[in-house]
Amino acid sequence: MTKERLYLYDTTLRDGQQTQGVQFSTSDKQAIAAVLDELGVDYIEGGWPGANPTDSEFFDNAPKTRATMTAFGMTKRAGRSAENDEVLAGVLNAQTPAVCIVGKTHDFHVDTALGITLEENLDNIRASIAHIVAQGREALFDAEHFFDGWKANPAYALDCCVTAYKAGARWVVLCDTNGGALPAEVAEATAAVIAAGVPGDHVGIHTHNDTEHAVANSLAAVDAGARQVQGTLNGLGERCGNANLTTLIPTLLLKEPYSCQFETGVTPEALTGLSRASRLLDDILNRVPTKQAAYVGSSAFAHKAGLHASAIAKDPTTYEHIDPALVGNTRIIPMSNQAGQSNLRERLKGAGIEVEPGDPALARILDRIKAQESAGFAYDTAQASFELLAREELGTLPAFFDVERYRVISERRRNARGEIVVESEAVVTVSIRGEPRTSYYKNEHASDLSDDGPVNALWQALKSDLGPYQAMIDDMKLVDFKVRITNGGTEAVTRVIIDYQDGAGHRWATVGVSANIVDAAFDALHEGIVWKLLRDEAMA
């Protein structure tokens, strides 16, 4: 069967930039455009030229992409011609091969937001699209609030779409702007647009995730005949976000009926770069990746329960809907109090430790994990701490260094100018092959930890002089720090989980538990360093 072409339109750089807290620089936008192009989307909406300096600068230095670079703007205002509308001119001046303009299709918005007549709005749509086409550009019409408009005044909402199409729009994109539509109504309204005369291979879908249905709504539109899907990497976007392309792309490529019915610009090879693309965006945004993200999250193929891990060891398809490698992700078998010996052996194997079934060490490790978890530890994300515990029990943990003592002081005071200053200082003494080394740190500068308090002072002191091991830890960065008060037995204790990254991008996490938050953090930091030394020695 010949496959139909389904087009992917990415709006990370435009609607994604409308996410609260997201502010891309021009170089961020260029880096994201390169990732999207590598992935194989058909269109990259780069932003709104003329609306802000970053977007203008991005288009002034627009990267050369295989994907069609698209500028975004709005229909001309009433009372002037398309040629004389300076906002539309700013968009066209970006000289992109495609231009997408948003226009109202809900009578309520025409009346309330624009304050013009319904006929004037139709004229604005018609004239703006015709002007874009006359400039030799591909025109796209984002039918704003289409689904709400279709419910309120179906004839008018359809008239707007047909007007844009007849004026020459290559795509009429149906927007669920407020994100409140549900799949059945999206399917019905999309079918109505096609029945009204806009062919399905000219209809696109742009959804928002306000009811967590953005992906389902996009698929409903495709089922009804739409052939362009808009979305963003990791579902960035205004309010609750847009349809998540990181979910939609693998679904369209790997799941029936879509995989049999359509071809997209994303090849199976490019699909294996999806997890990396998702994490790269998080890196640019300085966000901690969502562990439970479908397909690409680090927990998407994590098998925690003993029954699951036991079956996975026999055949991974028992508990996996796809092979994680298809999207560049990896399977993990975390350790926890839900684990049995199958989890344990799989997890040890993943860490390069082979233990024969029935080895008494397995039961000892499992007992210790379960006892530690009931005391407040959590090993399912802190895989590095788990590995150290297992090696200790197996007698294969090298003694790199011992911590003899640490001391940390935090002080809030007024300086000589009467300003309030908060300072922390730490002293750590370690011994390496019997030789003591003492390091001191006082916070004066912001560091890679988001706060510059006592934990950071300890971290800086601990990592500042490890003699023969120093070169191995110089590229370590702390990337996340989570604190939770939890119940350890009958007492409330503090659990600290720290995530690290090295210069090569490897990540690992450790856990520390104590009645004292600083001590819990210190234990986690200590293990973070020991695991890095262990890993680097194994690789040397």
Ligand X SMILES: CC(=O)SCCNC(=O)CCNC(=O)[C@H](O)C(C)(C)COP(=O)(O)OP(=O)(O)OC[C@H]1O[C@@H](n2cnc3c(N)ncnc32)[C@H](O)[C@@H]1OP(=O)(O)O
Q: How far apart (Å, rounded) are the C-alpha atoms in residues 327 and 405?
A: 46
Q: Which of 144, 176, 499, 523 binds ligand X (CB under 6 A)?
A: 144
For ligand CC(=O)C(=O)O, which is the closer residue by CB, 177 or 456?
A: 177
Q: Is 129 exposed, middle or buried (0-12, 13-18, 19+ CB in 10 A)?
A: buried
Binding-site member from 104, 131, 213, 227 for ligand X (CB under 6 A): 104
The answer to whether residue 51 forms part of the interface with ligand X (CB under 6 A) is yes
CB nearer to ligand CC(=O)C(=O)O: pick between 164 and 466: 164
Residue 15 touching ligand CC(=O)C(=O)O (CB under 6 A): yes
Nearer to ligand CC(=O)C(=O)O by Cβ, of 147 and 500: the residue is 147
Cβ of 57: how many Cβ atoms within 10 Å?
16
Q: Return the number of the residue (208 or 391) whose C-beta is nearest ligand CC(=O)C(=O)O.
A: 208
With CB under 5 to 8 Å by kind, the binding choice for 77 among ligand X, ligand CC(=O)C(=O)O, none is: ligand X
Mask: binding to ligand X, 107-126, rule CB under 6 A, as x and -?
------xx------------
Q: Cβ neighbours of residue 66 under 8 Å, at least 6 residues apart?
A: 37
Q: Which is nearer to ligand CC(=O)C(=O)O, 16 or 328 (CB)?
A: 16
Answer yes or no whether residue 206 interacts with ligand CC(=O)C(=O)O by CB under 6 A: yes
Q: Which two tokens stand for residue 117?
A: 């007549």
User: Least distance (Å) from ligand X to the CB of residue 139?
Assistant: 14
- Give the DSSP H or E segment for 532: helix 517-539
Residue 331 interacting entry, from ligand CC(=O)C(=O)O, ligand X, none, C-beta within 5 to 8 Å by type: none
Phi-psi label, residue 145: left if phi above 0, alpha if psi -120 to 50, beta otherwise: left
Q: How far is the CB of 187 from ligand CC(=O)C(=O)O (least distance, A)?
A: 19
Rg of the chain on CA atoms, in Å: 28
Helix axes 341-350, 306-314, angle to 10 degrees: 60
Asked if 529 interacts with ligand CC(=O)C(=O)O (CB under 6 A), we say no
Residue 114 interacts, among ligand CC(=O)C(=O)O, ligand X, none and using kind-specific CB cut-offs from 5 to 8 Å, with ligand X
Q: Are the beta carbons of 476 and 500 closer than 8 angstroms?
A: yes
Compute the least distance from the CB of residue 324 to ligand X, in Å.
Answer: 34
* Whether residue 257 has a cis bond before it, omega within 30° of 0: yes
Q: Would you count residue 238 as binding ligand X (CB under 6 A)?
A: yes
Q: Dig out the tokens for 86 from the structure.
A: 């300076």
- Contact flag: residue 175 with ligand CC(=O)C(=O)O (CB under 6 A): yes
Of 148 and 499, CB closest to ligand X: 148
From 177, 247, 494, 514, residue interacting with ligand X (rule: CB under 6 A):
177
8 A C-beta contact, residue 69 and residue 98: yes
Residues 145 and 178: their CA atoms lie apart, in Å, by 7
* Dihedral in degrees, nearest 10, Cα atoms 244, 247, 252, 253: 130
Running DSSP on this structure, what letter comes out for residue 64?
P
381 is an interface residue for ligand X by CB under 6 A: no
**Binding ligand X by CB under 6 A: which of 11, 12, 54, 75?**
75
* Exposed/middle/buried for residue 149 (C-beta within 10 Å: 0-12, 13-18, 19+): buried
Is 25:37 a contact under the CB 8 Å cutoff? no
Q: What pairing do the DSSP bridges indicate for beta strands 4-5 and 262-263? A: parallel
Listed in sequence order, the residues at least 6 apart from 128 whose beta carbon sits closer than 8 Å to its beta carbon are 75, 76, 82, 85, 88, 101, 103
- Closest distance to ligand X from the beta carbon of 113 (Å): 5
Looking at beta carbons only, is 131 or 208 nearer to ligand CC(=O)C(=O)O? 208
Each residue 68-107 as x (binds ligand CC(=O)C(=O)O by CB under 6 A) or -, in order, gives: ----------------------------------x-----
Binding flag, residue 102, ligand X (CB under 6 A): yes
- Token couple for 444: 């004066």
- Interacting residue ranges for ligand X, rule: CB under 6 A: 18, 48, 51-52, 74-75, 77, 102-104, 113-114, 144, 177, 238
- Interacting residue ranges for ligand CC(=O)C(=O)O, rule: CB under 6 A: 15, 102, 142, 144, 175, 177, 206, 208
